[in-house]
A and B are shown apart, each in its own frame.
Chain A
Amino acid sequence: DAGVTQSPTHLIKTRGQQVTLRCSPKSGHDTVSWYQQALGQGPQFIFQYYEEEERQRGNFPDRFSGHQFPNYSSELNVNALLLGDSALYLCASSLFGGGEKLFFGSGTQLSVL
C-alpha cells in the first residue's frame, strides 16, 4: 500500500516563474491538504481539497492555488515566485470526516533563486 507520494522531490526555479507540484494521496483517502515548511520551522497550512473543491485555506496569497482531480490526486500551483517561497512543500492526505489522522508525503523541496 503506497503512502502519500509527491513529485518532484526537488525543484529549482527563478523569481517570477510559476511552479506546479503534484501529490497522490494514500490509498483510500479522499482529502488532500498542502503545507509549507520553511527551514527550521513547523509546517504551515496552505489549503485543503475535498470533492475537487477548496474547503479551507490558510493565510496564503492568491498566488497559491490548487486543484484536486477525480482520482483524489492534487496539484499545488504557485505563480510569480518570490525568494521567500523557498521551502519544503508537504502534501498530506486523510479521510474526510473519518478522523483527524494526517499522513504526510516526504515533500517537494523548492528553491527559488
Chain B
Amino acid sequence: QQQVKQSPQSLIVQKGGISIINCAYENTAFDYFPWYQQFPGKGPALLIAIRPDVSEKKEGRFTISFNKSAKQFSLHIMDSQPGDSATYFCAASPLVTGGGNKLTFGTGTQLKVEL
C-alpha cells in the first residue's frame, strides 16, 4: 500500500520559474518529512526537511510548505535553474529513536528546467 503519493510524475519549468511538487501521506504516525534530490547514477541527497510543528521551512531557493490537517506537503523551488534538473522524492518517517531511518518515499518527480 502506497503511503506517500507524489505528483506530478514529471515537470518542465522555464529557467527562473517556480517548480512545485506535491505529496500527500496517510500514516498519521509520520513525523518527519524530507525531500531528496537524485541525479542519474547517484544516490538521493537530502535537500530540506520539516517537522509538523511548523507550516513552512525555507532554505535558500527551496521551501517546504506543510499542511498537517490535510496531510499534505510540497516543495517549491524558486528561480529554477538548469542545474536543478533531477528527480525529486518526498519521504516521510515516524518519530522513533533511530526510526528516522525508515523512510517511506514517494514515486518521484522528474524535473527538467529549460533555458
Contact = CB atoms under 8 A, between A and B. Distances in A.
Contacts of B104: 45
Interface stretch (B12-20, B36-44, B66-74): B36-44
Interface residues on B, range: 20 to 34
Contacts of A97: 97-98
A87 interface: no
Contact of A100 (B6, B43, B44, B49): B49
A42 B44 CA distance: 10
B98 A48 contact: yes
B43 A106 contact: yes
Interface in B26-84: 32, 34, 36, 41-46, 49
Contact of A102 (B97, B103, B108): B103
A100 B99 CA distance: 8
Interface string A90-110: 101010110111111111000
A98 B4 CA distance: 25
Contact of B32 (A43, A44, A48, A100): A100
Contacts of A107: 43
A43 B102 contact: no
B85 interface: no
Interface of B: 4, 6, 32, 34, 36, 41-46, 49, 89, 91, 93, 97-108
11 contacts: A42-B91, A42-B105, A43-B89, A43-B105, A56-B101, A90-B43, A92-B43, A94-B101, A100-B34, A100-B93, A102-B46
A-B interface, 8 closest residue pairs, ranked by CB to CB distance from nearest: A100-B100, A42-B105, A104-B43, A33-B101, A96-B98, A48-B101, A106-B43, A100-B32
